[in-house]
Structure 1
Amino acid sequence: MAELSSDIVIVGAGVLGLCVAVELAGRGRDVCVIDPGGANASSVAAGMIAPAFESLSAEGDPDRAALFRDAAALWPDTARRLGIALDTTPAIWRGAEAPAVAARLRALGFDVHQHADRVEAPGDVRVDPALALAAMAARLPRPVLSARALDGRATDQGWALTTTASPVAARHLVLATGAAAALPGLPPDVAALIDAIEPIAGQIGRALHPLGPQGVRRGPDGYVVTTRDHWLIGATMVAGSRDLTPDPDQSRRLEAVAERLLDQTLDSPVSWTGGIRGSTADGLPLAGPAGVPGLHFALAPRRNGWLLGPLVGRIVADGIEGRPPAARAAALDPLRFSRPAG
């Protein structure tokens, strides 16, 4: 098989890999994306871009809230450029704790509106993951190479990959492989960074009927996303697990959560699927140079791949081009855990 060459090769066509690819392609760079195809954590996700409500799980950290807000601010322009539809229906949090939730979010700088047991977050929006991934792939200079990367090694010219389709050579290698194990052939310190990523298994349900007002409803125990033709119900997060077998008890629990959030009985069958997310020790992705010439990470966004995608794309592209790091780049630095504090 003939060797495929490119300036930059990206392994992984989830949201982070494709956000890096379209950012680089928009800067005129030659990019090749490799992915085996099929469902991934990005495609089975709910597609929420939720800086406010995701900040609730960040223990009230104002820096994390500001990072999420800055990341979300990149989405309107990204969506316009790529032809991605943003569902701007405000997300709603429901529960008896609504006053406390509203107070916490306002203290973090979010514009929210409280109505009895509900909190509306106008800045929390959503994309359809399948349509958004397809729109990004369509903007690439060449089709995604349907293949699995088998190994990767440094060369005098950059990086060489063995894949199930053909050998690939590139000056720069971007790993956007989620929670997958490190490729054989990578330097040991790089492999150690990747293998320290914790897998998190989760299940999400789909009811294939229109059953309620369109939008996102969230609460302390789960969420439901209603579209024109289905519900999305989620989600579990089982740290350290790669088991995608749906848990019947969790399925029943999440169905009850959805009914409570919408005040409506679920009378359609629910199909359950799952994905494996990757998480670092602080819950933020690894994005940028990996400490080895020509090697870059776009890995492990935990539950915020869609929220952080365009920001990760810019940070990784800047690292490849040797530009000064963006203001938020340090928070996602792949080497942050090995550097002295302060």
Structure 2
Amino acid sequence: MVIGSGVLGLCTAAELAMRGHAVTVIDPGGPNASSIAAGMIAPALESLLEDVSAERAALLKRARDLWPAFADAHGVRLLREGAVWRGPRAEAALDRLQALGFDTRPTPGGLITTDDWRVEVGAALKALTRAPGVAVVKGQVARLVGDARRWRVEADDGRVWFSSTVVLATGSGPPVPGLPDRIAAEVAAITPIRGQLTFVAMQAPARVVRSPGVYAAPCEGGVVIGATMEPGRRDLDPDPVEAARQVASGLELLGEAGEAGATRVGIRGASADGLPLAGASGEPGLYVALAPRRNGLLMGPLVALVVADGIEGREPAADSAALDPLRFA
């Protein structure tokens, strides 16, 4: 049973179902951070923006490399268009990305990398919910009760499910009542990061365009321009002043005109080191798939692999230690 229907929960459910497990996903309903994301699978430009180590960049690239097989297995259309970077010090950015091993070449005013891909988020999430062996039910989990054999999952409307294995994929939400104290404390320590983006109707660019502080990602009918990173905030009301600033920056980046549409807000969850928490929680039958910061799509198949291997008792994947939920204990 998977509690949560964001990208980490759905990737994990699809991976488990592909291995022959019957999986129930409890979807709390409403938007989540995954559903309002721009769809970027971007190890290169995320590595540049976050100024990560060579080891972290290599991990992000390995996570990206799982996507082609994962997408093929689950009917997700993977768009390998690359991404453009425009901004100051483009030559230094090019040198940095090449030093990290990314395929990058200069362009007028910036650079292009073939190592960043994307998906259409809505279509991708829908495809994962339709994976054979995955059943999605709407519900709010009110309480978890565990013993040595199984978990009792109680919904707020009185429904009850029993499962020997539960995967906690609740995003930036508060701890589910009934979680063991140690796990509840780890969930409570996840930092919420508010993100806001705005749809703009216009001729979409051929690929994602990014610069410091703003991106424009193609989507049906135009682009989405985003996204803020506001740690510690959980409020979901759009900020019209920030939206106007964001749209102006995005249109300047593209050098085009467009008509601003709806602004959406989501809350990401982040661990202390910015990598997801994925794998065994230390409690029998309880696993977690949480806190990918703004790289939920990029890390989704790797998180799914790590969690599914743990459930099946397989030899841990090479990158599982980096995502170990117990690494901060």
TM-score by length of structure 2 reads 0.97
- Opposite residue 321 of structure 1, the aligned amino acid is E
1:217, 1:258 → 2: CA distance? 9
Q: Which runs of 5+ in 1 are unaligned?
A: 1-8
Contact kept, 8 Å, 2:197 with 2:264, in 1: the verdict is yes
- Opposite residue 274 of structure 1, the aligned amino acid is V
Post-superposition offset of 1:90: 1.4
Pick aligned residue for 1:24 from 16, 40, 53: 16
1:184, 1:333 → 2: CA distance? 23
- Opposite residue 271 of structure 2, the aligned amino acid is T
Secondary structure of the residue aligned to 2:63 is helix
Post-superposition offset of 1:284: 0.7
- The equivalent residue for 1:6 is none
2:132, 2:168 → 1: CA distance? 17
Listed as ranges, the matches of 1:283-302 within 5 Å are 283-302=274-293
- The equivalent residue for 1:107 is 99
Secondary structure of the residue aligned to 1:336 is coil
Post-superposition offset of 1:57: 3.1
- Opposite residue 45 of structure 1, the aligned amino acid is A
Secondary structure of the residue aligned to 1:144 is strand
- The equivalent residue for 2:297 is 306
1:24, 1:212 → 2: CA distance? 36
1:180, 1:276 → 2: CA distance? 9
1:250, 1:113 → 2: CA distance? 33
2:202, 2:252 → 1: CA distance? 17
Listed as ranges, the matches of 1:210-221 within 5 Å are 210-221=202-213
- The equivalent residue for 1:123 is 115
Q: Which runs of 5+ in 2 are unaligned?
A: none
Post-superposition offset of 1:226: 2.2
Pairing 1:333–2:328 present: no
1:37, 1:126 → 2: CA distance? 24
Listed as ranges, the matches of 1:205-244 within 5 Å are 205-207=198-200, 209-244=201-236
Listed as ranges, the matches of 1:160-179 within 5 Å are 160-165=152-157, 166-179=159-172
Post-superposition offset of 1:186: 1.0
Post-superposition offset of 1:153: 1.5
- The equivalent residue for 1:275 is 266
Post-superposition offset of 1:310: 0.2
Pairing 1:96–2:88 present: yes
Pairing 1:248–2:215 present: no
- The equivalent residue for 1:5 is none
Q: Deviations over 1:156-204 (max 9, x none)?
A: 4211110135101000110000011111111111111110001111111
1:146, 1:245 → 2: CA distance? 24
- Opposite residue 222 of structure 2, the aligned amino acid is H
Secondary structure of the residue aligned to 1:143 is strand
Pairing 1:61–2:57 present: no
Pairing 1:188–2:181 present: yes
2:221, 2:55 → 1: CA distance? 37
TM-score by length of structure 1 reads 0.93
Contact kept, 8 Å, 2:104 with 2:113, in 1: the verdict is yes
Contact kept, 8 Å, 2:247 with 2:260, in 1: the verdict is no
Contact kept, 8 Å, 1:21 with 1:140, in 2: the verdict is no
- Opposite residue 188 of structure 2, the aligned amino acid is D
Are residues 272 and 32 of structure 1, via their aligned partners in 2, closer, same or farther at CA, if it must alter by over 3 Å?
same
User: Which has the larger displacement, 224-233 or 322-331?
Assistant: 224-233
- Opposite residue 219 of structure 1, the aligned amino acid is S
2:34, 2:180 → 1: CA distance? 28
Pick aligned residue for 2:128 from 116, 131, 136: 136
- Opposite residue 190 of structure 2, the aligned amino acid is I
- The equivalent residue for 2:35 is 43
Post-superposition offset of 1:82: 1.2
Are residues 150 and 119 of structure 1, via their aligned partners in 2, closer, same or farther at CA, if it must alter by over 3 Å?
same
Pick aligned residue for 2:315 from 309, 324, 331: 324
Contact kept, 8 Å, 1:280 with 1:300, in 2: the verdict is yes
Post-superposition offset of 1:113: 1.0
Q: Deviations over 1:241-261 (max 9, x none)?
A: 101222223212211221122
- The equivalent residue for 1:3 is none
Contact kept, 8 Å, 1:15 with 1:133, in 2: the verdict is yes
Pick aligned residue for 1:199 from 186, 192, 203: 192
1:224, 1:182 → 2: CA distance? 34
Post-superposition offset of 1:228: 4.3
Are residues 212 and 135 of structure 1, via their aligned partners in 2, closer, same or farther at CA, if it must alter by over 3 Å?
closer
Contact kept, 8 Å, 2:21 with 2:133, in 1: the verdict is no
1:18, 1:55 → 2: CA distance? 25
Post-superposition offset of 1:142: 4.3
In the alignment of these two chains, the number of paired residues is 328
